[in-house]
A and B are shown apart, each in its own frame.
Chain A
């Protein structure tokens, strides 16, 4: 799975990837993965999750599960095109608010 360059059309580079630590108790289990995939599917281009050297499609619950992200693991969320930055931010916010698990 290739990741396209993070260079915008006007030549200006913009950060299309952000790193975040999984802090919810359960990690990226089936239900939290489903929430991420739901948002990622709205992206126009690819949305990826990266853990160490593994890159998976954020639109696939199964793919996310194969990362086996427990609590405390650190992942990078990456989008292919800058229009998808809002998608990235929404996933980021979701992870940061611990998927609403601990209310």
Chain B
């Protein structure tokens, strides 16, 4: 007998959560409708065909009700989406039209449904408002559920997985992930999605390796295929050969030893060889991520992005909703600080119920603090929630997109008003919290000495500062390569902010991803940054990098770095001075 060995296949995706895992694939079949056959129904069978369709819809409705019932309290917002799905199931335009089509064209229910949905999809795809456009995907989800019942496919629910597997799916919705018993999942692979997707966040939080956006994964992978997921490099290997398996098994073991050794001692403070302490904190989006920050030895939350609570729903969250979420994080971290950044809605995160008209230039438009100051009644709900959470721990408030002195004055006034409202209601709160601004707009850099008199800290958002200072749209492939946080213009701007911060006694933080790379640490130390905040996984490595450096050496190094005129020269100088040092002392692999 000849056993043909299956060819090893390597797919490239986005390494959304680092680590390596080896295991068997478990395809989450969401019943997508790639192959729908058309056949003609005899006139006498039409009634039967329509009933078959109705029964499938009925079953879909029962399934949804069951999922809603079993959804735990913390995912109730997602359950609201599912209630909308229940309504859509019986909608005239879907349900009625499909029955009509079966009758009129004498075709099978699958074909009729597919035809009706295709037309609806077209209508929604062309809509300009992102909220309404997204509703097209709700219709697709609903019709997929009906289709699955029609085709009688024995759909194994994700919640029934009984062995440790690597989940492979086109995409995972919050409703899907809420059903998974995550302790059974070794790794994640999806066709769609990226770093910021829900699956990516969950994977990083739980420290499960994930390769997302691996285009043709579900088309290529079969159930029980042996897979290697390399979440560090964004690689997916299907049917690995024996030698590949051995290689990755060794890498996996090395990775685990390395993580263990880095994480060991991560709780200790990051102090330079000459005694300068740097606070190394974590950036989070979901309250659940706070656990990862603590596990990785974070000295606090340097950036708690507050958009998620607004984006995952169709109505504004209430003061109590927000307060509960903030309080969770604040209590877990106490006495360590939690920096809550107020609503920073921008072009790529437009929410229909927030956004007004379409903007030609969202990055230069009504976003972040500009939006909040225009809608003080919306903003104050968040401010009150933050002030209330502040009664439970160490809370600081961070205002994004400040471009003008007056904005800072207005925010302070709104904070005062919010505190007075809470006091009048007799609700416990704390007004004396530290307030800071994101330094990401060049006008704020120029005026930083005036703003310094009004705030307690600055937090530099490198990505946006580079974008606005150098006029580079990172989404634009033609210019994206010009994007460089080590550009001399950027370094000089940060130097200016740093000098002012020191003169005025204002703390200086950096919460951009720039802070997550050990090789950047000499520059950031040289620029006298007091606090670094990054994705939780990078904390141990960055702390380690800080401990190997001397702050006074890096300050000396800055003198020569500041003389450079080209980004490439800055880069070369930095590599020459510190690359070997980092390889030897920090990256121990």
Question: What residues of chain A have their CB less than 8 Å away from a CB belonging to chain B?
Answer: 25-27, 29-31, 34, 37, 57, 59-63, 65-66, 68, 70, 101
Contact = CB atoms under 8 A, between A and B. Distances in A.
A29 B352 contact: yes
B132 A61 contact: no
Interface in B313-338: 314-316
A62 to B, nearest CB: 4
A70 B314 contact: no
A83 B131 CA distance: 35
A30 B84 contact: yes
B91 interface: yes
Nearest to A34: B87
A15 to B, nearest CB: 26
A30 B314 contact: yes
Contacts, number: 63
B353 A62 contact: no
Contacts of B356: 70
Contacts of B292: none
Interface stretch (B122-130, B277-285, B502-510): B122-130
B135 interface: yes
Contacts of B92: 57, 59-60, 62-63
A101 B84 CA distance: 16
Interface of B: 80, 84, 87-88, 91-94, 96, 120, 123-124, 127-129, 131-132, 135, 138-139, 314-316, 352-353, 356
A60 B93 contact: yes
A95 to B, nearest CB: 16
Contact of A37 (B87, B129, B314): B87
A73 to B, nearest CB: 11
Given A62-B93, A62-B139, A26 B315 contact: yes
Nearest to A30: B84
B93 A68 contact: no
B91 A66 contact: no
Pick the 6 closest A-B CB pairs, nearest first: A62-B93, A60-B92, A26-B353, A68-B132, A30-B84, A34-B87
Given A37-B87, A57-B92, A63-B93, A30 B138 contact: yes
B314 A68 contact: no
B122 to A, nearest CB: 11
Contacts of B94: 62
A61 B131 contact: no
Nearest to B316: A25
Contact of A68 (B96, B127, B139): B127
14 contacts: A29-B352, A31-B315, A37-B87, A57-B93, A60-B91, A61-B87, A61-B91, A62-B88, A62-B92, A63-B93, A66-B124, A66-B132, A70-B352, A101-B315
B93 A25 contact: no
A88 to B, nearest CB: 19
Contacts of A61: 84, 87-88, 91
A29 to B, nearest CB: 5
**Chain B CB within 10 Å — which of A30, A34, A62, A70 has the most?**
A62
Contacts of B93: 57, 60, 62-63
Given A60-B91, A61-B88, A65-B135, 9 more contacts: A25-B353, A26-B352, A27-B353, A30-B87, A31-B84, A31-B315, A63-B91, A63-B93, A70-B129
Contact of A29 (B87, B127, B353): B353
Nearest to A28: B132
A27 B88 CA distance: 18
Contacts of A62: 88, 91-94, 120, 139
B91 A29 contact: no
